[in-house]
């Protein structure tokens, strides 16, 4: 066929890994649907004679959030797939893109044959196919990516029934894409012979090789990251153990310091206690000596009191008191007699010395009486001791 027409949904780069490039170079022309601004601009620049629709085919109306992974072919409108790509180390930009349903796109070219329709949109295949209705346009061949992004996990069971409901027949699987033939063109099934093999002379694109190398490097890096995390975790355990030992050692040092201080304080307290005890013992001895001295003095005072009592109770003491009273009476009588006799001062001059001598003699006698009484009391005490000893004997 010299010239044909195609619709490439998820066209990506105009040259690298381009499904339409060989057809374009053979004279075919078509429509490229690409929501990524970078790839849309590249397609316009490289294919100025083709239509570029900068939008995403989706059931979402108006606009949708789009996760663009620049220069990778991994851009998608699904959050979970974007997160998976991010976890593998890819960086993305979140943008808003216009949307349109597949039915509107197909109906725009209902007046001509669409020889093939390719859908490669990183997990959005089911959402795209569900917007086919109500269009009745049937491209001759439909090619749909049938594995999960970046893996070999089949996904065709999620959307194949939609194609079958329109009469499409499965024709071929190249391990990445599944090919279906329109019910109106079943004769094309015969052209799908053996799968690609060494006799086809095909070459894997540089991008595909780079992608696999990069994926292997990422897998190796992730494995290394897991190992590093394990090493870090082990090192952290060791660090925690070391910190615990340091804390324990510090606590032991502090405890030892406290114990040493306590021992020194205890030794000081014991020394002060010994000094206090010795001083207390000295005070106790002094107190006991004082008590003995006081007792001795009390006994001495008692003895003196007893002696005084005995003296006062004795006959000599009573005689002494009588003599004292007699002395006072003689003095009063003398003054009274002289007064009644009318003795003049001159008379007193001659009689006075005689009276004074009598008075002085009496005073001497009275003054010596205490000594006599004391001696008499001592004699009585000695006599009493002799009588007591004789009774005891």
206 or 321, higher pLDDT: 321
pLDDT at 227: 83
> What residue ranges do the domains of the chain occupy?
5-193, 218-318
Q: How confident is the model at residue 368 (pLDDT cuts 50, 70, 90)?
A: low
Two tokens, residue 133:
């209705």
Q: How many other CB atoms sit within 10 Å of the CB of residue 78?
A: 17
Q: How confident is the model at residue 369 (pLDDT cuts 50, 70, 90)?
A: low
Residue 224 has pLDDT above 90, yes or no: no
pLDDT at 390: 60
Helix axes 315-341, 206-313, angle to 10 degrees: 60
Decide if 202 contacts 196 (C-beta within 8 A).
yes
- Give pTM, 2 decimals: 0.54
pLDDT at 319: 74
What is the pLDDT averaged over residues 310-326? 75
Two tokens, residue 141:
């061949």
What is the pLDDT averaged over residues 324-340? 79
Q: How confident is the model at residue 297 (pLDDT cuts 50, 70, 90)?
A: confident
233 or 53, higher pLDDT: 53
Cα–Cα distance for residue pair 201/192, rounded to 1 Å: 17
Residue 87 has pLDDT above 70, yes or no: yes
Cα–Cα distance for residue pair 215/22, rounded to 1 Å: 27
221 or 49, higher pLDDT: 49
What is the pLDDT averaged over residues 31-39? 96
Residue 325 has pLDDT above 90, yes or no: no
Quick one: CATH architecture of 5-193? 3-Layer(aba) Sandwich (3.40)
Two tokens, residue 268:
């000081």
Handedness of CA 381, 382, 386, 387 (dihedral sign): negative
Share of the chain above pLDDT 70, in %: 80
Which pLDDT tens digit goes with each residue over 56-65?
A: 999 999 999 9
What is the pLDDT averaged over residues 292-302? 86
Which pLDDT tens digit goes with each residue over 127-168?
A: 999 999 999 999 999 999 999 988 899 999 999 999 999 999
Residue 204 has pLDDT above 70, yes or no: no
pLDDT at 230: 85
């Amino acid at each position: 066929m010299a010239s044909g027409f195609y619709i490439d949904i998820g066209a990506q780069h105009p040259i690298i890994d381009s499904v339409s490039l060989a057809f374009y170079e053979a004279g075919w022309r078509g429509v490229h649907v690409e929501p990524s601004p970078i790839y849309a601009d590249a397609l316009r620049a490289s294919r100025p004679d083709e239509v570029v629709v900068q939008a995403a085919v989706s059931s979402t109306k108006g606009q949708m959030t789009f996760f663009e992974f620049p220069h990778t072919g991994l851009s998608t409108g699904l959050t979970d797939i974007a997160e998976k790509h991010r976890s593998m180390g890819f960086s993305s930009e979140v943008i808003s893109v216009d949307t349109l349903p597949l039915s509107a796109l197909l109906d725009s070219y209902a007046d001509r044959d669409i020889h093939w329709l390719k859908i490669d949109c990183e997990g959005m295949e089911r959402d795209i196919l569900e917007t086919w209705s109500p269009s009745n346009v049937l491209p001759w061949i439909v090619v749909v990516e049938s594995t999960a992004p970046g893996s070999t996990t089949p996904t065709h069971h999620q959307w194949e029934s939609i194609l079958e409901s329109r009469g499409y027949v499965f024709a071929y699987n190249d391990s990445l894409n599944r090919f279906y033939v329109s019910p109106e063109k079943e004769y094309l099934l015969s052209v799908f012979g053996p799968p690609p093999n060494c006799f086809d002379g095909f070459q894997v694109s540089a991008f595909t090789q780079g992608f696999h190398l990069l994926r292997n490097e990422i897998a190796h890096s992730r494995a290394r990251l897991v190992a590093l995390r394990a090493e870090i975790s082990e090192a952290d355990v060791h660090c925690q153990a070391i910190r615990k030992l340091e804390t324990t050692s510090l606590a032991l040092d502090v405890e030892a310091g406290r114990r040493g201080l306590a021992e020194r304080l205890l030794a000081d307290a014991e020394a002060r206690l010994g000094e206090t005890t010795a001083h207390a013992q000295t005070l106790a001895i002094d107190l006991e000596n004082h008590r003995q001295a006081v007792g001795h003095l009390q006994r001495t005072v008692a003895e003196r009191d007893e002696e005084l009592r005995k003296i006062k109770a004795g006959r000599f003491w009573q005689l002494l008191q009588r003599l004292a009273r007699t002395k006072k009476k003689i003095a009063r009588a003398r003054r009274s007699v002289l007064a009644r006799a009318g003795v003049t001062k001159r008379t007193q001059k001659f009689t006075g010395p005689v009276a004074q001598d009598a008075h002085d003699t009496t005073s001497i006698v009275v003054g010596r009486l205490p000594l006599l009484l004391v001696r008499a009391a001592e004699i009585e005490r000695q006599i009493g001791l002799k009588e007591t000893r004789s009774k005891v004997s």
